[in-house]
Amino acid sequence: MYYNSILETIGNTPLIKLNNLADDLQGTVLVKVEYFNPGHSVKDRIGLKMIEDAEKEGLIEPGGTIIEGTSGNTGMGLALAAVIKGYDCIFTTTDKQSKAKLDMLRALGAEVKVCPTDVEPDDPRSYYSVAKRLSEEIPNSYYPNQYDNPSNTQAHYETTGPEIWEQTEGNVTHYVAGMGTGGTISGTSKYLKEQNEDIQTIGVDSKGSVYKKYFETGEFDKDEIHPYLTEGIGEDIIPENMDFDLIDAVMQVNDENAFITTRKLAQEEGLFVGGSCGAAVYGALEYARSGDFGEDDLMVIILPDSGTRYVSKIFNDKWMQEKGFLD
């Protein structure tokens, strides 16, 4: 048996039990390890789906250019598909992203434009605005806009949700995912709740993001927004892919707890993953310890990406000390 291209290896990532970090809990805690995807992240799923749907709708033609704003992982997913399908790529990102992410995008032939983090989303310098402007200026270009593109959510409804249901033989009771563009948590939750409406979906937000307060009050409070270092989760906008009706609770995690847990996942579970993974696990375990998790429960946590993107940051003692996360 062989695969016709690297794209056929996307999906069917494993579930792995947490042993040491969850040893105080009676129920079972599993993590779905998305770095087994070829681009080492959950975003491979949506990169391929958004391009294939665009091709079907005639939104991009052979030899075209894919232009997207990304924290790095969606760019990798899009770049992998572009290599196989023959498209060029231009990605905009923020100056808080790790250098490793930018280097990996360039290694796949993409052009990367770094934009300031601490500006309003509608500021012409923001990575959202720059991506949109370039897509309007460059002929035969396609702007997937992962935040509002329904193919993002649909990719997880078609793949991630069914995989979790089948891998747990329908016994999953709690589903936990970071809240970024909204596609992973919304698409997967929709599928799982269609199978069993009692499944609890817990979103994990980053301290400095608007999501938690918006979920709890319906108010978009700009005073909640402040810079944070965790990449890939939390937002200063409300994307169309974020369906709060499919979420039962939101846990907010600060950078320190996210990064310390990320290191613990490597050192105590052998899982070399990224900062948003640490945030997801910390938030999930805090939720489980709050009392809504018994011996018959089975929790699945999405671990979105690999620690290889963060060797110069989270796994670098000097960087962690400079940021005040290590003595």
Residue 199, SS3 per DSSP: coil
* pLDDT number for residue 81: 96
CB atoms within 10 A of CB 267: 11
In the chain, % of residues over pLDDT 70: 100
5-20 pLDDT, tens digit per residue, is: 999 999 999 999 999 9
Tens of pLDDT, residue by residue over 187-204, are 999 999 999 999 999 999
Helix axes 73-85, 99-107, angle to 10 degrees: 10
Q: Could you tell me if 171 and 304 lie in one domain?
A: yes
- Residues 82 and 10: their CA atoms lie apart, in Å, by 14
The predicted structure's pLDDT at residue 277 = 98
Closest CA to 327 of 254, 260, 229: 260
Last residue of a domain, one of 94, 115, 142: 142
* Cβ proximity of 71 and 105 under 8 Å: no
Look at residue 267 in the predicted model and tell me its pLDDT: 98
Q: Are residues 173 and 286 in the same domain?
A: yes
Query: What is the Cα Rg of the chain in Å?
Result: 19
For residue 226, the domain's CATH number is 3.40.50.1100
Per residue in 85-123, pLDDT (tens digit) is 999 999 999 998 878 889 999 999 999 999 998 888 889
Mean pLDDT of the region 72-87? 95
Does 174 lie in the same domain as 278?
yes
Residue 315 pLDDT: 97
Domain annotation covers residue 72 = yes
Q: Which residues are annotated as catalytic?
A: 43
181/273 same-domain check: yes
- DSSP string for 232-254: SS--SS--TT--GGG-SEEEEE-
**Are residue 68 and residue 132 in the same domain, yes or no?**
yes
* Residue where a domain terminates, one of 142, 174, 209: 142
In a domain, 229, yes or no: yes
Q: What is the pLDDT of residues 33-56, one digit of tens each?
A: 999 999 999 999 999 999 999 999
Task: Give pLDDT, residue 28.
Answer: 98
**Does residue 137 sit within a domain?**
yes
End position of a domain, from candidates 142, 174, 203: 142
Mark whether 273 and 244 lie in a shared domain. Answer: yes
User: How far apart are alpha carbons 33 and 236 in whole angstroms?
Assistant: 27
Domain co-membership, 290 together with 218: yes
What is the span of the domain harbouring residue 47?
43-142
d(CA 136, CA 121): 18
Residues 198-218 have a mean pLDDT of 97
* Judgement on whether residues 247 and 137 belong to the same structural domain of the protein: no
| Beta bridge partners of residue 32, listed in sequence order | 15, 302
pLDDT (0 to 100) of residue 98: 79
Report the 3 state secondary structure along 111-161.
Answer: EEEEECCCCCCCCCCCHHHHHHHHHHHCCCEECCCCCCCHHHHHHHHHHHH
Structural domains in the chain (count): 2
Residues 199 and 257 in one domain: yes
Share of the chain above pLDDT 90, in %: 92
Q: Does any domain span residue 147?
A: no
- Residue 202 and residue 94 in one domain: no
For the stretch 156-183, pLDDT in tens is: 999 999 999 999 999 999 999 999 999 9
Residue 4 has pLDDT above 90, yes or no: yes
Tell me, yes or no, whether 78 and 138 share the same domain: yes
Has residue 91 been placed in a domain? Answer: yes
Partnered with residue 201 across adjacent β-strands are 175
Domain match, 79 and 197 both: no
In angstroms, what CA-CA distances link 2 with 37, 52, 235?
A: 16, 22, 40
